[in-house]
Structure 1
Amino acid sequence: MTSTDTTAQAAPPGTAPYRWRWAALFIILAAEVMDLLDAVVTNIASPTIRAELGGSAAVIQWLGAAYTLSMAVGLITGGRLGDIFGRRRMFLIGAMGFTVGSLLCALAQGPELLIAARVVQGLFGAVMLPQGLGMIKEMFPPKEMQAAFGMFGPVMGLSSVCGPILAGWLIEADFWGTGWRMIFLINLPLGLAAVLAGMRFLPESRSPHPLKLDFAGVALASLAGVLIIFPMVQGREHDWPLWSFLMIAASVVVFAIFGWYEARKARAGGDPLVVPSLFRKRAFTGGLLTGLVFFSGMIGFSLVFNLYTQMGLGYSTLKAGLAMVPWSLGMVVGFGLAQPLQKYGRKLLHGGTVLMALGVLAILITLNLAGIGVTPWQLTPALAVTGIGMGLLMAPFFDIVLAGVEQHETGSASGTLTAVQQLGSAFGVALLGTVFFGVLGGNVSAAADDAAPKLRAELAAVQVTGAPQDRIVEGLRACGHDRAVAKDPAEVPASCRRLQADAASAASGPEAGAAVAKAVASAGAEAGKEGFGVAMKTILLVVDGMLLLTFLVAFLLPEHARED
């Protein structure tokens, strides 16, 4: 193949298809895999990262939200950059930038630097990913198009299954002392291989009539997203000051200004970021609402569940990753079951929503029955049912939402839908993470009260009674609460230091001292697990409420997808 083969315009209809189209497809799929893995790995790794780099609970939320929020902003205009400057060029720039962002993540020495590097990853990922769709449409003849797009399903399914396991295994293996940093370092050979192979095999293609960039629209959309996500994450840690509510209110105003500006630009004959006519279509606006609520609930649940298994139940990162496998496998099964059922359209989507809600309810029942000793095997049936429902719901979603969209609006509609999916992910991490950490301290305190009778009996058995016993019991409650809400997990709260001193002074001798320490440690561990369990149950109820809302707003969608 000559050097001009990869820079030539993709073959127009009626000519021979692009020679290296299947090699190019695998490069595009490799980019998808990198994005899918990096979207989920920090859910598994966040407790380990926070333990090493420090920072408050908000760090855990920002590790996911910073990536998805920047991805949401970039995706709206990423495809347009390829149309204007060339899809091959923008893919290579995006892949190289994503690889550099991954290296910055691995080298980060503080939580702020890591979060900033995640933003770099998200922005360049948004430049890289949209280019594949345009290239596939130009490389493949119609008879091969379905097979090409059919490759995405298995690859995405395999990534969702393997991502958490890979992240957990890499952290546990601790290659060359890299620990969690290896989940980002592994992108370096993948990214460089994608760049080198892309230079060799990807065709150059661009739109013959590209739309112009809408910089003001991008700025307004970005500002609106930050104004709602930032106070959702940071507000709780500052006891919800006035500025947090003012920022949320301002986000509504900026979204309204964004809509006004886009409509004005369209009337003036410009190229708006989002075609305003889309919002006059019930199917599309209903799809945006459905997607926003659904993806918020699911991505937020994924984060909180990983926090619960690692921080609450004490699972290792690998065990926590394996615990999520039934959900991922269930999703793959759900996608497979949905293929012959696509004719049912919205009914299939509603059925998947109901099955998901039942699965989430089954997780709640499992936690109630198994208690603080729940195992991954006990959670497997409920997680599998939840995943199957998710697959049934997602399979027809995008086709149904795009049912009422005109051909000239498809590009804008697809980009906006995908961006809203990412925005919903960021919002879910912020919302459910905030609810989880917000109720955690009180739940641990309540669990310490429940453990008090047993603790008092064990203390009395070694002649610790009266005021010393009261101080230990009260100290355990205060220490549990303060540890749960601590902004720095590495710092021992003052209440915990007082508890240690009270326990040491209450013992009459070495043997009694050991018994007191053991009783306090046991009661503290039990209260911590119980408190995390109650917080997790609260999140499950919230998720089921969001699925109910998803079911209701889905009635705005058309009954069937487009025939084409």
Structure 2
Amino acid sequence: MSTHTEAPPLSARAVWITLVVVVLADAMDLMDATIANVAAPSIVRELGVNENVIPWLGASYALALGSLLVLGGRIGDRFGQRHTFLVGMIGFIIASALAGFAPSAGVLIAARVVQGAFGALLIPQGMAIMAATFPKPMLQKAFAVFAPMLGVFAVAGPVLGGIIIDADLFGLGWRPIFLLNIVLGGVALVLALRYLPTVPAHRSTRIDLLGSVLLALALFGLMFGLVTGSSDGWNGLTIGSAVVGVALLALFGWRQARADEPLLPRSLLVNRGFTSGLVVGLCVFASFSGLMYVISLFFQLGLGYTPTEASLNLIPLTIGIMIGSGIANALILTLGRRLVLIGMLTTILGTGALLLVVLGSGVQVPWWQNLIATSIIGIAAGISFNSVFNTALGNLKPEEAGSASGSLSAIQQVANGIGSALVTTIFIGTLAGGAVTAMTTTLVVILAVAVLCLLAVPLLPRRAVAMEG
């Protein structure tokens, strides 16, 4: 028998404190997803490890988060979003402490995986709690604050990371970038325990645990094979790992076709527009996450910037993303999939401009040339990020939108992991020939991926859904 009751109405004070808690949780996720971009050279230098470790610093977090994100949402539905949020927050704080005090690269990467896993429990619950408990007028006001705040944290992550590393707080070097989560998470946890509302659990929700395990193992096997093979050479282990990953991915697809409540609804997988959006989104987010990572590496390993200088030179890129998002918001309903095409063409323009700058100036790139090229790349990213998925949702039924959005968010995180790992591996693998060779090779590969993405754009729905929240 169902025991569901309506969640009691919240006071205005409780609404805003809940919003603060959710924003802090998402801020930790955003900063931890990007902060390794700036910190990677310092981490490698201090731990005395090979640069081949760099691709895993970001990929370990993103892949764990992406592969478990949909599962995290289901767990929240079944066991209660408040309890799941609190477990996710406590686990994230503990994993951040482990990362901050990690004695070796192996422990650090393991801690990043645990961070991602608990992040998958944490992140889906906040928006679900807000949607279920906030009065509609307050929900609209909350969303109006939520999006700009996340934009601020997206900018602040790399900048704050660079400043903290160069400040060498208490002689800890890069470690405070992870230990900061103990403070932010601690504040959020105290507020959540007192103010976070309870949403009735849906005990009838089914969880496809086997499908989740298959997906996680498939992604790990595939990525381990591709990244390790590209950096250390192809042998029985790397080839076997990639083959096993592909086989497990096929087994995951077989499972989704037969499970009573699959992680990915079958109606979505047979929708050509939606699946095309998944493919384009995978290419877009993988390319941009990798590109942003190697730009930071090039700034430090090629141009000799300090972490602070590198992070400050990434600000035009992040501001460009915010500008591109505004453009996409204004034009998405009018242009539909044509806006995706514009975003991809702008990506090619910005990446091509950066390639010409590197070819022309080598490691003596003037700051203003960096600013122009990275600003164009940022605008392209903003347009693409905010148009691909809204276009992919263009011809779905309203009742499919929730599952589709969750699936797209998971794909985004997986793509971030794949892109940061593979693109960074290309950069590190060619670094022996010099930073200029490594950067130009990487940019050529990204240009080729962007051109290939154009082939899938005509398969997207013509119209897009409105952007909300």
> What do residues 309-358 of structure 1 show as CA deviations (whole Å, max 9, x unaligned)?
11122110101111111100111111122222122111112112211210
- SS of residue paired to 1:67: helix
Q: Does 1:382 align with 2:373?
A: yes
Cα offset for 1:440? 2.3
Q: Does 1:289 align with 2:279?
A: yes
Counterpart residue number, 1:422? 413
Counterpart residue number, 1:354? 345
Q: What is the alpha-carbon distance in structure 2 between the residues aligned to residue 59 and residue 437 of structure 1?
A: 10
Correspondence for 2:73 among 70, 79, 89: 79
Q: What is the alpha-carbon distance in structure 1 between the residues aligned to residue 143 and residue 247 of structure 2?
A: 39
Q: What is the alpha-carbon distance in structure 1 between the residues aligned to residue 466 and residue 161 of structure 2?
A: 40
Matching of residues 64-463 of structure 1 within 5 Å: 64-208=58-202, 210-265=204-259, 270-343=260-333, 344-441=335-432, 443=433
Q: What is the alpha-carbon distance in structure 2 between the residues aligned to residue 119 and residue 210 of structure 1?
A: 29
Change (3 A) 1:246 1:424: same
Q: Mind listing any 5+ residue stretches in structure 2 that lack a counterpart?
A: none
CA contact (8 A) 2:96 2:179 kept: yes
Counterpart residue number, 2:447? 544
Q: What is the alpha-carbon distance in structure 2 between the residues aligned to residue 131 and residue 170 of structure 1?
A: 30
Cα offset for 1:397? 2.6
Cα offset for 1:238? 3.2
Q: Mind listing any 5+ residue stretches in structure 1 that lack a counterpart?
A: 1-7, 444-530
Q: What is the alpha-carbon distance in structure 2 between the residues aligned to residue 374 and residue 191 of structure 1?
A: 39
RMSD: 1.9
Q: Which amino acid aligns with 1:372?
A: V
Q: What is the alpha-carbon distance in structure 1 between the residues aligned to residue 396 and residue 239 of structure 2?
A: 36
Counterpart residue number, 1:488? none
Q: Which amino acid aligns with 1:200?
A: R
Cα offset for 1:9? 5.0
CA contact (8 A) 2:79 2:203 kept: no
CA contact (8 A) 1:172 1:179 kept: yes
Q: What is the alpha-carbon distance in structure 1 between the residues aligned to residue 10 and residue 417 of structure 2?
A: 43
Matching of residues 471-510 of structure 1 within 5 Å: none
Q: Does 1:559 align with 2:467?
A: no
Counterpart residue number, 2:47? 53
Q: Which amino acid aligns with 2:305?
A: Y
> What do residues 353-380 of structure 1 show as CA deviations (whole Å, max 9, x unaligned)?
2112101111111122322211433300
CA contact (8 A) 1:297 1:428 kept: yes
- Taking structure 2 as the reference length, the TM-score comes to 0.94
- Taking structure 1 as the reference length, the TM-score comes to 0.79
Cα offset for 1:197? 0.4
Q: Which amino acid aligns with 2:361?
A: A
Matching of residues 517-528 of structure 1 within 5 Å: none
Cα offset for 1:245? 2.2
- SS of residue paired to 2:464: coil
CA contact (8 A) 2:223 2:418 kept: yes
CA contact (8 A) 1:18 1:139 kept: no
Q: Which has the higher relative contact order, 1 or 2, with Cα contacts under 8 A spaced 6 or more apart? A: 2
Correspondence for 1:10 among 7, 10, 21: 7
Change (3 A) 1:19 1:317: closer
Cα offset for 1:207? 4.7
Q: Which amino acid aligns with 2:464?
A: A
Q: What is the alpha-carbon distance in structure 1 between the residues aligned to residue 401 and residue 11 of structure 2?
A: 24
Change (3 A) 1:50 1:327: same
> What do residues 504-538 of structure 1 show as CA deviations (whole Å, max 9, x unaligned)?
xxxxxxxxxxxxxxxxxxxxxxxxxxx21121011
Change (3 A) 1:293 1:66: same
Please identify the structure whose Cα radius of gyration is greater: 1
- SS of residue paired to 2:49: coil
> What do residues 429-475 of structure 1 show as CA deviations (whole Å, max 9, x unaligned)?
2211222222222x2xxxxxxxxxxxxxxxxxxxxxxxxxxxxxxxx
CA contact (8 A) 1:18 1:140 kept: no
Task: Give the number of equivalent residue pairs.
Answer: 463
Q: Which amino acid aligns with 1:541?
A: V
Q: Which amino acid aligns with 2:104?
A: G
CA contact (8 A) 2:52 2:428 kept: no
Q: What is the alpha-carbon distance in structure 1 between the residues aligned to residue 113 and residue 361 of structure 2?
A: 40
Q: Which amino acid aligns with 1:334?
A: G
- SS of residue paired to 2:360: helix
Structure 1 window deviating more from structure 2 (94-103 vs 361-370): it is 361-370
Q: What is the alpha-carbon distance in structure 2 between the residues aligned to residue 238 and residue 16 of structure 1?
A: 56
Q: What is the alpha-carbon distance in structure 2 between the residues aligned to residue 424 and residue 169 of structure 1?
A: 28
Cα offset for 1:138? 1.3
Q: What is the alpha-carbon distance in structure 2 between the residues aligned to residue 90 and residue 430 of structure 1?
A: 29
- SS of residue paired to 1:562: coil
Structure 1 window deviating more from structure 2 (544-553 vs 322-331): it is 544-553
CA contact (8 A) 1:65 1:429 kept: yes
